[in-house]
Structure 1
Amino acid sequence: MSQSQLSVVVPVFNERDNVTPLINEITTALRGQIDFEIVYIDDHSRDDTLAVLQALKAVTPELRVLHHVTQSGQSTAVRNGVKHARAPWIATLDGDGQNDPADIPKLLAARAAAATEVKLFAGWRVNRQDSGSKRWASKWANAIRARMLRDDTPDTGCGIKLFERAAFLDLPYFDHMHRYLPALMQRAGWQTTSVPVNHRHRTAGVSKYNNLGRALVGIRDLRGVAWLITRSKRTAVEER
């Protein structure tokens, strides 16, 4: 197989019924468009997600499967997927099927038209298909985040993103960091942009989050990211 230009990283936990249709959609969207690989990270699922993924490797040559020996959460899964990825650019998707792989070419097109300083293209769910309570909680959280971090990003919680691998791996790592990628990229001196994308209902499985738990963790993380931004220091470097 030729060197991949894009690695599609998908973290999953107990998503056995969503694995096959999502992988089929990824290959439909990207085959013939770009050299790519698909990197699934099973976060120590308690169902047979891992077995389903291993069986799909026989019919999906682009598929690679990583497995966490202990459950470690979405941010760790994304980071490990990126660390093991072979391509210079990464597209991420949530494993629940609510992100549409057909939007990946749209992100790639936005990259082609953007300046080289733009290292993150973040999906923006303009027509969310979540429950009313989840949409309200997300709107409230985004408003507070925007006020504190000033990252000019309307939807940081969207799972579909496109970013440069090297830029991502240079960011400070902490649990839940995937929710603050625009602010962290901007802190590192890069530009980011938001791209409207499709959003779909979950058709199988159950959500792994609740609004209260997400809010309590988010408040602590938000304070930490705000502190990181105030402590950042950048300068140009010359070799002489």
Structure 2
Amino acid sequence: MPDETRAESGAVRLSVVVPVKNEAGNIAPLVAEIAAACAPLRPFEILYVDDGSTDATPAALAAARARHPELRVLRHRQSCGQSAAVRTGVLAARGELVATLDGDGQNDPAFIPALAAALAAAGPGAGLAQGQRVGRKDGRRKMIQSRIANGVRGRILKDATRDTGCGLKVFRRAVYLRLPYFDALHRFMPALVAREGFSVVHADVIDRPRLTGRSNYGLFDRLWVGILDLAGVWWLIRRRRRVPEVVTAETE
């Protein structure tokens, strides 16, 4: 798919992609936090993807753009889900590295530089730095659901990741574009990145309560919601027997 939405201006080191739906009250404080956290990583950009919000999110994003020139805004006319919003942002990103985080404020952007550094330290063979939440602020029921789903996923996919549901990630854009796209892709990235022959590094990140409002997306943490996706990812991994090592005739 061509990158029609990619900007043509100068080089960007890092693109921060944030999917949002009906998060008007969280826009201004989180954009300011992202800008402050990523200042050591300049030049960077922030891409908010408004997934068909019906509240004052568009107005809040317009106001934030006036204060933060590094902010770009894309909008889905209709809600297409979190995975689709992440993909829209990655396709439009100008940076070779992409960071993602949820738009509700529970993911602290202060951890983005550490994740980027962990990915860089692991070398070009690493495709993803995955955050893993500690000190979860979710309710007891959601945490139990998440623990069960993560346990089942880990045993089936053997992705060596304790918490794939954490929105805080830093990855190479080129690696993401090699992954098969489907709804809930962002929940299975460690397994799929490994399927492409890249390693995954992990870093603990501190969870915090959402800034305002309530959750707008359904929970993968309910195991029955993700069972078909889990089976599909297992099938994809089983079908990829070997990652080709490509060399040119001159290097043989």
Give TM-score, length-normalised by structure 2: 0.91
Tell me, yes or no, if the aligned pair for 1:96 and 1:202 is still in contact at 8 Å: yes
Decide which of 135, 153, 156 is 2:161's aligned counterpart: 153
Q: How many residues align?
A: 240
How many Å apart are 1:109 and its aligned residue? Answer: 2.0
Supply the distance in 2 between the matched residues of 1:95 and 1:211 (Cα, whole angstroms): 15
- What is residue 191 of structure 1 aligned with on the other side? 199
CA RMSD of aligned residues (A): 1.5
How many Å apart are 1:49 and its aligned residue? Answer: 0.4
- What is residue 106 of structure 1 aligned with on the other side? 114
Which consecutive unaligned segments of at least 5 residues does structure 1 have? Answer: none
Q: Does 1:175 align with 2:194?
A: no
How many Å apart are 1:213 and its aligned residue? Answer: 8.1
- What is residue 10 of structure 1 aligned with on the other side? 18
How many Å apart are 1:236 and its aligned residue? Answer: 1.4
Q: Does 1:226 align with 2:234?
A: yes
Tell me, yes or no, if the aligned pair for 1:10 and 1:92 is still in contact at 8 Å: yes
How many Å apart are 1:172 and its aligned residue? Answer: 0.3
Cα distance per residue 1:104-127 (max 9 Å; x no partner): 111122123212211100001022
Q: Does 1:54 align with 2:62?
A: yes
Supply the distance in 1 between the matched residues of 2:239 and 2:248 (Cα, whole angstroms): 25
- What is residue 129 of structure 1 aligned with on the other side? 137
Supply the distance in 2 between the matched residues of 1:216 and 1:117 (Cα, whole angstroms): 34
How many Å apart are 1:2 and its aligned residue? Answer: 4.8
Q: Name the amino acid aligned to 1:7.
A: S
Tell me, yes or no, if the aligned pair for 1:142 and 1:156 is still in contact at 8 Å: yes
Percent identity over paired residues = 50
Supply the distance in 2 between the matched residues of 1:220 and 1:153 (Cα, whole angstroms): 20
Q: Name the amino acid aligned to 1:100.
A: D
How many Å apart are 1:32 and its aligned residue? Answer: 4.1
Counterparts in 2 of 1:212 and 1:84: CA distance versus 1, 3 Å: closer
Tell me, yes or no, if the aligned pair for 1:73 and 1:175 is still in contact at 8 Å: yes
Cα distance per residue 1:55-80 (max 9 Å; x no partner): 21111000000000121000000011
Decide which of 35, 49, 55 is 1:41's aligned counterpart: 49
Q: Could you list the structure 1 runs, at least 4 aligned residues long, displaced by more than 3 angstroms after superposition.
A: 209-214
Q: Name the amino acid aligned to 2:132.
A: W
- What is residue 27 of structure 2 aligned with on the other side? 19
Tell me, yes or no, if the aligned pair for 1:9 and 1:93 is still in contact at 8 Å: yes
Supply the distance in 1 between the matched residues of 2:220 and 2:171 (Cα, whole angstroms): 30
Tell me, yes or no, if the aligned pair for 1:137 and 1:211 is still in contact at 8 Å: no
SS of residue paired to 2:67: coil
Tell me, yes or no, if the aligned pair for 2:38 and 2:44 is still in contact at 8 Å: yes
Aligned ranges for residues 58-73 of structure 1 at < 5 Å? 58-73=66-81
